[in-house]
Amino acid sequence: MRALFVPLLLVYASGSGKVAGASGPKGNRFVCTAVPAGTDLSCPVDTSSRVQSTSPQEEELRNTIIQLRETILQQKETIVSQQGTIKELNSKLARCEADAKSRGSARRKDYSKNTMGDLPRDPTETVEQLGKTMQSLKGRLENLEQLRVNTSGGTFPNELKDLLKRRLTDLESQLLTRVLELEEEKSQLYNETATHRQRTENTLNSLLERITELEKSNNAFKSPEDFKVSLPLRTNYLYGRIKKSLPEMYAFTVCMWLKSSASPGIGTPFSYGVPGQANEIVLIEWGNSPMELLVNDKVAQLPLSVSDGRWHHICITWTTRDGFWEAYQDGERLGTGENLAPWHPIKPGGVIILGQEQDIVGGRFDATQAFVGELSHFNMWDRVLRPVDISAMANCSAYMPGNVVPWVDANVEVFGGATKAALEICEDRLFDS
pLDDT, tens digit only, all 433 positions of the chain:
444 333 333 333 333 344 344 444 445 555 566 666 666 666 555 554 444 456 777 787 777 788 777 877 777 777 777 777 787 777 777 777 777 677 666 555 554 444 444 444 555 666 677 677 767 766 766 666 665 555 544 454 677 667 777 777 887 788 888 888 888 888 888 888 888 888 888 888 877 777 766 655 544 566 788 899 999 999 999 999 999 999 999 999 999 999 998 888 899 999 999 999 999 999 999 888 899 999 999 999 999 999 888 999 999 999 999 999 999 999 999 999 999 999 999 999 999 999 999 999 988 999 999 999 999 999 999 999 999 999 999 998 888 999 999 999 989 999 998 999 988 887 776 666 5
Q: Is 277 helix (H, G, I), strand (E, B) or coil?
A: strand
Cis check for the bond before 232: say yes or no (omega within 30 of 0).
Answer: no
Ramachandran area for residue 287 (φ above 0: left; ψ -120 to 50: alpha; else beta): left
What are the residues facing 268 on neighbouring strands?
Answer: 370
CA 82 from centroid of its chain's CA atoms: 47
pTM of the predicted structure, to 2 decimals:
0.51
Dist CA 142 CA 84 (whole Å): 15
Ramachandran area for residue 346 (φ above 0: left; ψ -120 to 50: alpha; else beta): beta
If we measure between CA atoms, which residue out of 250, 259, 267, 282 comes closest to residue 353?
282
Within 8 A by CB and 6+ apart from 329, the residues are 304, 305, 306, 312, 313, 314
